[in-house]
């Protein structure tokens, strides 16, 4: 017969109790309120200038500087009347004119442009600034410059 020796097993039990400090007990007693965070205040938007003011104060000076920087342009005249930006100049003695018009008197409404060169009649009216989401004075100057460059009146690239 085979004998088996049995070794008694011991059970060891551990338990841990976390004691709370006085401040934790007090915090539990007083309900913890979440701190309300204030959203950062956004600077107020500057109201958009009326089209006539924007054109007179921002577009015409910038466009004038752009065109005066071109070679051989003389007798430059720029004006804004009746919701229409008009420009005329001579390049190497040849007359050129352009119009950018805003029939509704706002930048968000319909817009168009037209050109005339060598004293001929006005070209076909073309859409103007149709893909822009938020139009600024820089867009207007850029698109006038782009239209003049597309007709070969001013160079596409600046030297």
Reported as a single tens digit per residue, the pLDDT across 79-111 is 999 999 999 999 988 999 999 888 888 888 888
User: Is 141 inside a domain boundary?
Assistant: yes
Phi/psi for 12 (5° steps) reads -120, 130
User: Is 115 inside a domain boundary?
Assistant: yes
The residue to which tokens 């005339």 are assigned: 116
User: Is 85 inside a domain boundary?
Assistant: yes
pLDDT confidence tier of residue 60, bands split at 50, 70 and 90: very high
User: Is 9 inside a domain boundary?
Assistant: no
pLDDT digits over 16-57, tens only?
556 666 555 555 555 666 666 776 676 666 667 888 899 999
pLDDT confidence tier of residue 58, bands split at 50, 70 and 90: very high
User: Is 131 inside a domain boundary?
Assistant: yes
User: Is 5 inside a domain boundary?
Assistant: no
The residue to which tokens 């037209």 are assigned: 114
User: Is 100 inside a domain boundary?
Assistant: yes
Separation in Å, CA 74 to CA 68, 117, 136, 156: 8, 14, 27, 19
Which residue, among 129, 73, 57, 138, has the nearest Cα to 100 in the 3D structure? Answer: 129
User: Is 143 inside a domain boundary?
Assistant: yes
Residue 159 CB burial class (10 angstroms; 0-12, 13-18, ≥19): exposed
Q: How far apart are CA 112 and CA 124, in angstroms?
A: 10
Task: Please tell me whether the overall predicted TM-score, pTM, comes out greater than 0.85 for this model.
Answer: no
Domain coverage including residue 92: 72-150
Q: Indicate the number of domains in the chain.
A: 1
User: What's the gap between Cα 23 and its chain centre?
Assistant: 52
């Amino acid at each position: 017969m085979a004998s088996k020796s049995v070794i008694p097993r011991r059970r060891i039990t551990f338990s841990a109790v976390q004691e709370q400090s006085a401040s934790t007990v007090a915090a539990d007693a007083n309900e913890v309120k979440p701190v309300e965070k204030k959203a950062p205040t956004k600077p107020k938007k500057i109201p958009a200038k009326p089209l006539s003011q924007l054109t007179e104060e921002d577009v015409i000076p910038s466009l004038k500087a752009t065109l005066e920087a071109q070679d051989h342009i003389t007798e430059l005249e720029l004006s804004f009347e009746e919701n229409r930006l008009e420009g005329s100049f001579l390049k190497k003695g040849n007359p050129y004119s352009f119009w950018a018009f805003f029939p509704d008197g706002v930048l968000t409404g319909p817009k168009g442009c037209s050109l005339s060169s060598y004293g001929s009649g006005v070209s076909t009216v073309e859409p103007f600034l149709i893909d822009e989401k938020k139009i600024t004075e820089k867009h207007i100057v850029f698109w006038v410059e782009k239209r003049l460059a597309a007709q070969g009146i001013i160079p596409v690239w600046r030297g």
